[in-house]
Chains A and B, each alone.
Chain A
């Protein structure tokens, strides 16, 4: 029996007033594999909305249906007032997108790529490629071939290309996946800039930090359905007053032993790391150490975290996001 999505935003002031993106009961299967099991959400103008979930959760399928490059089996979707399935070039004039997996011809130069793609759009909506080169710090690389760019430069180019038509709606599918932490932070800066320009952005990610930092609202997606939705603060409020404690031990602890530790609300073993949520972290740690001593066990590592969307995900699914 599927668990209904928890939409915290419906009871809060953060709920969108007018949906630039409207998704209602979207379903999609690939043969026997069900990718979407009835996804519904709305994104307001100027809002950054995130779909957060593990790989295979249905995030990319959702975004590709909205971009008009996949068709849903059932359900409704509207983007900027248009039906993505039938709007064709009208929709493409209004959207910009960074795909999860995409490429350009190896020997296409950076400036040529921007010029080429800007020429596909109506003149009035075109952004000056030179301005985009400067904005994305690609002006020094304008004559470089695509194949010679680093991962971060390729991603910056992808983002610049998504803006050649000054789009009304921007779709970013895992925009920082595979990038090193420094480049990822650079990308965050760029996306935050777009956010300050009040662009409507739908982004997918499996990075907690990215969702918390960039998104006005987040929908947590798992196995083709939204299991929780709201602002990062609202979602984290579910875990308010708890602390996540992650420990590595010489030997695993039995369930009976775990239950005896003070303040533990729940505990799960993820590949040798014991993840506990505690209502009183100091008491839990003291109790844990005492229990380990009595048991002849050894504490190898201990880390404490304040509540994050990861905790919400664990609480709702019993799994970690990166699984």
Chain B
């Protein structure tokens, strides 16, 4: 009940916040238009792949927004006021995740609809799979954001840590540059990143290069990550700006990374995911090349 009350309030506050509108809605749509402009080249098959990437960036944005908001609430003494009411850290954190999830959905829907209607994306992809990955991903990355907010002691520190993690997520997930073009060792490192599971899952789901079975690993990795990250953030949650998290308690953060270390080791060992990544990328290249040939022949002066 308390979680729901807080969720409603958080959604209301976010919708009144211009920063949220910019970072949560305008920026992901900006990425979409930019990627289509740079990589789309009018190839409708490529649009689905771009959509998967943009959806990943939108969902991962949960991480950034939530950590910053929680730190602001703590630094301004807002959390202190909540602490005096009979509200625990659990409902407060759960409401952050739920509100964020609800707020991500319209942006996701807008991106899919724009791709389909404005950029003539030929497939809807695997919509239930997209929905599942967006749901699990938004919750998991929100929980990561809550952890960052709990371990950092100031907004400045939060911004630095966020920038570092966000950059790693962006460039190692394949959401900006396809993972398949990186050297093999980077691809292997990327298999330890939670963002990779979200990105490869969403790119596959958007392009329909996926079966439910193949999505299982992505979903399990993200769900286990979510459960652990939520519990860790609850354990190290701080109401007061002056309260600091001790060195030993910071080790809890490592617990949230355990599933990705395990899945990373597993994926590196059996190579299935890397093979799939390369296969998908080749397929895209082939389709893209086909379109180029088609385009060239369409415009050939000989005709």
Contacts and interface: CB of A to CB of B under 8 A. Distances in A.
Contacts of A103: 76-78, 81
B2 A105 contact: no
Interface of A: 67, 69, 88-89, 92-93, 95, 97, 99, 101-105, 107-108, 112, 116-117, 119-121, 161
A104 B83 CA distance: 12
Contacts of B239: 69
Interface string B87-107: 110000000000000000000
A120 B86 contact: yes
A264 B63 CA distance: 69
Max chain B Cβ within 10 angstroms of own Cβ: one of A95, A97, A105, A119: A105
Interface in B158-212: none
B85 A121 contact: yes
Nearest to A93: B86
Given A69-B239, A116-B9, A104 B84 contact: no
Max chain A Cβ within 10 angstroms of own Cβ: one of B12, B83, B84: B84
Interface in B137-167: none
Interface residues of B, number: 22
Contacts of A101: 77, 80
Interface of B: 2, 5-6, 9, 12-13, 16-17, 73, 76-78, 80-81, 83-88, 239-240
Given A99-B80, A120-B2, A105 B86 contact: no
A107 B77 contact: no
Contact of A105 (B13, B88, B240): B13
The B contact surface, by secondary structure, is helix
A148 B81 CA distance: 19
Contact of A99 (B2, B9, B16, B81): B81
B86 A67 contact: no
Given A67-B84, A92-B85, A117-B85, A102 B77 contact: yes
A99 B12 CA distance: 25
The A contact surface, by secondary structure, is loop
A67 B86 CA distance: 12
Given A92-B86, A119-B5, A69 B13 contact: no
B100 to A, nearest CB: 15
Nearest to B1: A119
B84 A97 contact: yes
A161 B9 CA distance: 16
Contacts of B16: 107
Contacts of A108: 9, 13
Given A104-B78, A105-B13, A108-B13, A99 B84 contact: yes
A92 B5 CA distance: 18
A120 B5 contact: yes
Max chain B Cβ within 10 angstroms of own Cβ: one of A97, A102, A117, A161: A102
A120 B80 contact: no
Given A89-B86, A107-B17, A121-B86, A102 B12 contact: no
Contacts of B81: 99, 102-104, 161
A161 B78 CA distance: 13
A119 B7 CA distance: 13
Contacts of B78: 102-105
Contacts of B76: 103
Contact of B84 (A92, A107, A119): A92
Max chain A Cβ within 10 angstroms of own Cβ: one of B12, B81, B83: B81
A21 to B, nearest CB: 16
A69 B84 contact: yes
B77 A99 contact: yes
Given A69-B80, A99-B80, A104-B78, A120 B85 contact: yes
Given A89-B88, A104-B78, A104-B81, 20 more contacts: A69-B239, A88-B86, A99-B77, A99-B81, A99-B84, A101-B77, A103-B76, A103-B78, A105-B13, A105-B73, A105-B78, A107-B17, A116-B5, A116-B6, A116-B9, A117-B85, A119-B5, A120-B5, A120-B87, A121-B86
A117 to B, nearest CB: 6
A93 B87 CA distance: 10
A116 B4 CA distance: 11
Contacts of A97: 84
A124 B48 CA distance: 55
Contact of B83 (A69, A93, A95): A69
Nearest to A108: B13
A100 to B, nearest CB: 9
A121 B87 CA distance: 9
A180 to B, nearest CB: 22
A95 B84 CA distance: 9
A90 B150 CA distance: 26
Nearest to B83: A69
Contacts of A116: 5-6, 9
Contacts of B73: 105
